[in-house]
A = this chain, B = another copy of it.
Amino acid sequence: MTKSEDSPAATRKTEADWIASLNDGRVVYYEGERIKDVTLDPKHRVAIDHSALDWRMAHDPEPAVRELTNTSLNGNVVSRYFEPPTSAASLDRRRQLIVDQTTRGLGYLVFVREVGTDALNGLRLATRAVDAAHKTDYYDRVISFRDDCAKNDLAMGMAMTDPKGDRALPPSAQAADGSYLRIVERGASGVVIRGAKVNITACPYVNELFVLPTRSMVPGDEDYAIACAVPASASGVVIVSKPLPAEDDEFDYPISSRARHTEGTVFFDNVFVPNERIFLNGETEFAGAVAEGFATWHRFTGLSYKSPMADMLVGAAALMADYNGLSGDKVIREKITDLVIYAETIKALNTAAALNGRAGDDGFFYPDPVASNLGKYYFATNYHNCIRILQDIAGGLTVTGPSHRDLQNPELRQYVDEFLGGREGVSGVDRLKAFKLVRDLTATEYAGTWLVATLHGEGSPAAQRLAINRAYDVDGMRDWMAGVLKSIEV
């Protein structure tokens, strides 16, 4: 099942076909203006081309690349992201695929495959429990929708985070109806939903959007307990893509000019969702399980793509140290080792999450939730410190040096050549390039977005702490110690 027997992947879309599929009449706004065709917008096109990597690799002339990227399912060659995870080894293949693609993507994952299959994998587990309790058929709908997405080679996004309003209150107790997406009408063939979802990576260029509850719910929250899938082009879906900085010069922005996603807000203005696309509908007691089922998978994804990002921090630090003549400095090397420890801890926890995965009762394997949550928590809460270390090693020229346009002025170029070189053999221009690299990783809007995304992507650190705590038997350890003391006579 994990082998791609049908190379050269005739049944997978080409890059061009997939990109063309995005020009489907969807409503996308950028800086207040409607974009007719996102595939023609230069800023979005960088991100779309980045996402298209999975389709490019699907048809790569190199068999090993196709083998890594594709698998077969129901007789079709499909993206390996749809490989049913029936073993720990399968989880590890998924990990390797994400690592490989993120490495090619200069630290940015493809995203439009991972997040959707994370949702499908999470829903598969959660819906079995709902079905058992409520005699619903959500599980079959999930499987069927999964097969469709695989066969049609669709890009998927995740609309999960509600605006939340007053975070101390449940959805049904909010002052404003709009703080959580909700069902405003229920009919025989489906429901109508209204609301906003925020922090949605890649929303302008996916085919399908999953809508999941963002938290556990209580009785009274029935209208907010909705999980479903909605085409990005569905009537009533309004996508607002966030402003993108002018990071298009390769010299000034060596990473973000080439590796980019966009984020945005999606408004659901009375969108009809037919029954076969609904995976939870009012069963409030399962809202938390649906959210957590996705989150565990997605944190495993986060751990996987964070690994090459951490490697890039090491590489940039080592390059900067080299150019500054400090490769042999013991204190600098200790700082680089701190970055190495960051990278390797992520890898080790990622590997643990895969290899220690366990089968659910339908035979699917799930990444170890504790390792997945620990890993996400670790990389999120230590990232800012790594940024500090890299900036510390690099120095102030990271943010103050001349730009690409300055270099195009021959007089200034001459000054740069004469004055700004590094250790013997490193020209001023090469050293400036390295500073721009560090800047793009640590001090541009792209970098700032990553600071926030590293914390809050895949759920905020508080969510991981809760999950880790819940999985651990604190009371059992307390009772163990109480028992040890009980045996002592006084």
Contacts and interface: CB of A to CB of B under 8 A. Distances in A.
A381 interface: yes
A388 B396 contact: no
A377 interface: yes
B442 A451 contact: yes
* Residue among A331, A407, A425, A445 with max Cβ neighbours from chain B (10 Å): A445
Nearest to A378: B345
Given A325-B166, A329-B168, A396-B452, A341 B374 contact: yes
Interface in A298-325: 311-312, 314-316, 318-319, 322, 324-325
Contact of A165 (B334, B415, B423, B456): B423
A362 interface: no
Given A163-B419, A452-B399, A484 B106 contact: yes
Interface residues of A, number: 152
Contacts of A267: 415, 419
B168 A199 contact: no
Interface stretch (A141-149, A219-227, A248-256): A248-256
A196 B318 contact: no
A400 B198 contact: yes
Given A384-B388, A490-B251, A437 B485 contact: yes
A246 B244 CA distance: 11
A311 to B, nearest CB: 5
Contacts of A465: 334, 337, 341
A115 B254 CA distance: 33
A230 to B, nearest CB: 16
A400 B314 contact: no
Interface stretch (A5-13, A56-64, A175-183, A283-291): A175-183
Interface string A158-195: 00010111111100000110110000000000000001
A145 B332 CA distance: 40
A448 interface: yes
A134 interface: no
A324 B474 contact: no
Given A32-B406, A474-B314, A245 B243 contact: no
B319 A481 contact: yes
A456 B322 CA distance: 19
23 contacts: A33-B405, A88-B355, A176-B421, A195-B419, A196-B415, A240-B402, A242-B401, A250-B488, A254-B488, A265-B401, A267-B415, A267-B419, A312-B480, A312-B481, A315-B481, A337-B469, A344-B374, A345-B349, A351-B368, A355-B356, A392-B462, A396-B457, A399-B452
Contacts of A87: none
Interface stretch (A47-55, A70-78, A124-132, A427-435): A427-435
B429 A490 contact: yes
A402 B490 CA distance: 13
Contact of A198 (B269, B348, B396): B396
A397 interface: yes
A381 B371 contact: no
Given A409-B32, A469-B340, A325 B243 contact: no
A90 interface: no
B477 A318 contact: yes
Contacts of A198: 396-397, 400-401, 420
